[in-house]
Structure 1
Amino acid sequence: MGNKKKLLFLVTEDWYFLSHRLSIALQARKEGFEVIVATRINKGLNELLSHGFKVVPIRMKRSGRSIVGELKTLIEIMGIYLREKPDIAHHVAVKPVLYGSLAALVSKKIKCINAIAGLGFVFSRNDNFRTRLLKKIFLAGYRLAFLSHSSHAIFQNKEDRSFFIKHKILTKKRAVLIPGSGVDISKFSEGPEPEGEIVVMLASRMIWDKGIGELVDATRILKSRGIGFKTVLVGIPDKENPNAVPLKILERWNREKIVEWWGFKKNMPEILRRSHIVVLPSYREGLPKGLIEAASCGKPIIAADVPGCREIVHAGKNGWLVPPQNREILADKMEELIKDSCLRKKMGRYSRQMAAKYFTDKIVINKTMRLYRIVLK
């Protein structure tokens, strides 16, 4: 690749980079890139430094609402780009894509790769005046982000890619489909079904848009039918998301034994293997990492019939797709899998096959590195 090229990741949170982009950054470093990570530091600094990355702390918040504060963030990112002079800026999620692309205009040499990790809560909400206005603002922002013809986008599902092309935000040639963050299938391995009570598990951030309310309601319906099982929620509320499930509600559900809330868990392969069925009745996704990991562990999956989930769940083969925000049908499909161990095992085997064929981290790394080489030509 000639002289050592600089690859800068702009990500809002250090934990998100470590969980979703670390394997790509490690491969880039192995292939001769100098890797810079510009992110808000929480607890991940030592781990980032241990991998040999240069770390640039930023103050960017996902939910910042102060115009002055947002302008300061944009100026801060511009300063970083002027100082670091990256060859490639890899922006991950909405705000880094918008702000990073604007900041990159300070130099014609910076090639932008914008990772669209789902269209976000604005596009998953029912239409009203506020959401229609927000959609227009977001679309205008994305058009601005892709003004430079040297910028490319990574999409996690076909529907988001088609949406951008349909709205003439960018051309097909600059819109690349890469299946999420990938999964290490040797780490997330399948095992025998656990003995004892059937466990239905949802593992994600605790926000309403993940369909947590619908899952709790479906659990109540099945308990009223006398079905024996337990529902487990794994994850913590996202304090910066306006739709976070309040801590007091999670604690109340726990006390009332409606569901078990396990909070944050680090060893997700082991946690997923303690489940029989994995559920995500989300309103919209990019490509949910939790479902890819569940598939890799050989679990049958019930998910909402929405973009992102459709890529992972093939209805009737490795699970069921249910209409979003429909607790009754969700309850019926949960009951079907709770009662049928043979169906669970059959669907679980198909999940594992799908993960190994389409969603490994090696596939994602190879496609991303290929894109880096293309933009540097």
Structure 2
Amino acid sequence: MHNLNRPPVFVYVINVDWYFELHWLQRALATLNAGAEVHLVMGMTDPRLIDSFSRYGFICHQWNIDRKSLNPIFNLHGLMELYQLLKSISPDVIHAITIKPNIYVGLIFYLLRVPYLLSITGTGIIFSGKSLSTKLIRPVIRLLYKASKRKDVNRRIVFENREDRAYFINTGLCDSHEAVTILGAGVNPDLYEPVAEQETDTPIILFAARLLWDKGLGDLVEAARYLRSQGLKFSIQVAGIIDHSSINAIDERVLEDWSREGAIQWLGTEKNMPSLIAQANIVTLPTFYGEGVPRILIEAASCERAIVATDMPGCREIVRHGINGLLVPARNIDALAEALAQLIQNPGLRKKMGKQGRRIVERDFSEQQVISETLSLYKELLS
């Protein structure tokens, strides 16, 4: 129970600074504005970000986490460093985000015994990856999630989609009483406002995501080549973060090759997402990665853009097939090409789907809703 004479102390434990800024900043600011002292423990890669976090009033701590490494010795070092950091902060609530921080905080609880939340922001490459290394590490990760399960633990496990929640409960990775669903990060519908599509004979298809192979950009390039061979006119704009610390990052040279070939227009990392979406006609994410709820799809729907995405957990939460977009089977290039062709050739359908998408966002995916659901979980744990 925290001392009522001082503000409650919250710690966010997250793997990297840019990910925090993109997906968690608004929730952490709301925690700060509710009167808490807020610490950020994370891998810090960008001094400008740390500077701006400090100006907001967060207390920042560098944590040397190797996101790529599966080496248990290095991980043991990361675990000990995190334990020392958390012990020195003496928090009332810890909020761990993404798999490695989840596992570490679950284990540290045995020493610290502080109420905590784990955010499962999709099952990620560990659960969806097909490589030998991910297949070998998967049983270990499941074992570690199970090891942190105890009857006397005051904690919540927060999922971004219902299917991940069901998977964790059904496979014994957590109990149903502690599992909560909060749909994605939400967006501010006033910021991501509807903008009428530009009328054009060459529609723009936007792909904006972390540049990992598992996000399906390679499949999109294949589908585009086929559609162009059929005489369809369109362009593909690609924007996103090249995540060098991920084991399945797309090399920048590949993007440059595709650009030279005319397969895509490579825009680099774009900060102004509302204007990027406004100039597009269709937004697509042919992902086969373990998503939470992809933020770009919520943003697209909020801006009244029709979507083509894969029929995967997380994508299914925001895209209703035939209503605000089209869902296609993962890794099926023919189906992806067919869905894109349908929307390229049918501006009327795109417009109708865009309007429906906006309604879905206003009802289920507003940032305000996500923030208030998160803050009420914090209150539960504090009491």
TM-score, normalised by the number of residues in structure 1? 0.96
3-state SS of 1:301 partner: strand
> What amino acid does structure 2 have at the position aligned with 1:106?
L
Aligned with residue 181 of structure 1, among 180, 185, 206: 185
The whole-number CA distance in structure 1 between the counterparts of 2:100 and 2:173 is 17
Q: Deviations over 1:255-281 (max 9, x none)?
A: 111111111011111111111000001
> What amino acid does structure 2 have at the position aligned with 1:21?
W
> What amino acid does structure 2 have at the position aligned with 1:371?
L
Match of 2:82 in 1: 77
Q: Deviations over 1:292-346 (max 9, x none)?
A: 1111111100100010100010000001000000011100110010000100000
Percent identity between matched residues is 34
The aligned runs of 1:244-283 (5 Å cut-off) are 244-283=249-288
Q: Judging changes above 3 Å, is the alpha-carbon distance between structure 1 residues 177 and 47 closer, same or farther for their aligned structure 2 residues?
A: same
Q: Alpha-carbon deviation of 1:66?
A: 3.5
3-state SS of 1:18 partner: helix
Instruction: Judge conservation of contact 2:145–2:174 (CA < 8 Å) in 1.
Output: no
Q: Does residue 355 of the first structure (1) align with residue 361 of the second (2)? A: yes
Q: Does residue 20 of the first structure (1) align with residue 29 of the second (2)? A: no
Match of 1:30 in 2: 33
3-state SS of 1:74 partner: helix
3-state SS of 1:200 partner: strand
Q: Alpha-carbon deviation of 1:67?
A: 3.1
Instruction: Judge conservation of contact 2:30–2:371 (CA < 8 Å) in 1.
Output: yes
Match of 1:119 in 2: 123
Of 97-106 and 300-309, more deviation after overlay is shown by 97-106
Instruction: Judge conservation of contact 2:106–2:145 (CA < 8 Å) in 1.
Output: no
The whole-number CA distance in structure 1 between the counterparts of 2:26 and 2:89 is 22
The whole-number CA distance in structure 2 between the counterparts of 1:280 and 1:302 is 7
> What amino acid does structure 1 have at the position aligned with 2:306?
P
> What amino acid does structure 1 have at the position aligned with 2:86?
Y
Q: Deviations over 1:128-169 (max 9, x none)?
A: 865543221111111123336212100000111001111122
Match of 2:14 in 1: 11
Match of 2:219 in 1: 214
The whole-number CA distance in structure 2 between the counterparts of 1:104 and 1:137 is 18
Q: Deviations over 1:4-43 (max 9, x none)?
A: 1100000111111111111111111111211011112222
Instruction: Judge conservation of contact 1:181–1:364 (CA < 8 Å) in 2.
Output: yes
The aligned runs of 1:296-315 (5 Å cut-off) are 296-315=302-321
Match of 1:107 in 2: 112
Of 237-246 and 320-329, more deviation after overlay is shown by 237-246
The whole-number CA distance in structure 2 between the counterparts of 1:33 and 1:116 is 23
> What amino acid does structure 2 have at the position aligned with 1:39?
M
The whole-number CA distance in structure 2 between the counterparts of 1:90 and 1:125 is 26
The whole-number CA distance in structure 2 between the counterparts of 1:68 and 1:255 is 43
> What amino acid does structure 2 have at the position aligned with 1:326?
N
Instruction: Judge conservation of contact 2:17–2:42 (CA < 8 Å) in 1.
Output: yes
Aligned with residue 142 of structure 2, among 128, 139, 144: 139
The whole-number CA distance in structure 2 between the counterparts of 1:31 and 1:259 is 45
> What amino acid does structure 2 have at the position aligned with 1:235?
G
Match of 1:168 in 2: 172
Instruction: Judge conservation of contact 1:81–1:103 (CA < 8 Å) in 2.
Output: no
TM-score, normalised by the number of residues in structure 2? 0.95
Q: Does residue 334 of the first structure (1) align with residue 375 of the second (2)? A: no
- Identify unmatched segments of 5+ residues in structure 2: none
Q: Does residue 239 of the first structure (1) align with residue 259 of the second (2)? A: no
3-state SS of 1:325 partner: coil
The whole-number CA distance in structure 1 between the counterparts of 2:340 and 2:134 is 32
The whole-number CA distance in structure 1 between the counterparts of 2:307 and 2:282 is 6
3-state SS of 1:253 partner: helix
Aligned-residue CA RMSD (Å): 1.4
Aligned with residue 198 of structure 2, among 194, 214, 221: 194
3-state SS of 2:259 partner: helix
The aligned runs of 1:36-47 (5 Å cut-off) are 36-43=39-46, 44-47=49-52
The whole-number CA distance in structure 1 between the counterparts of 2:251 and 2:43 is 24
3-state SS of 1:252 partner: helix
- Identify unmatched segments of 5+ residues in structure 1: none
3-state SS of 2:238 partner: strand
3-state SS of 1:261 partner: strand
3-state SS of 1:153 partner: strand
The whole-number CA distance in structure 2 between the counterparts of 1:182 and 1:230 is 28
Instruction: Judge conservation of contact 2:308–2:340 (CA < 8 Å) in 1.
Output: yes
Instruction: Judge conservation of contact 2:207–2:237 (CA < 8 Å) in 1.
Output: yes
3-state SS of 2:177 partner: helix
Instruction: Judge conservation of contact 2:125–2:134 (CA < 8 Å) in 1.
Output: no
Q: Does residue 318 of the first structure (1) align with residue 324 of the second (2)? A: yes
Q: Does residue 98 of the first structure (1) align with residue 134 of the second (2)? A: no
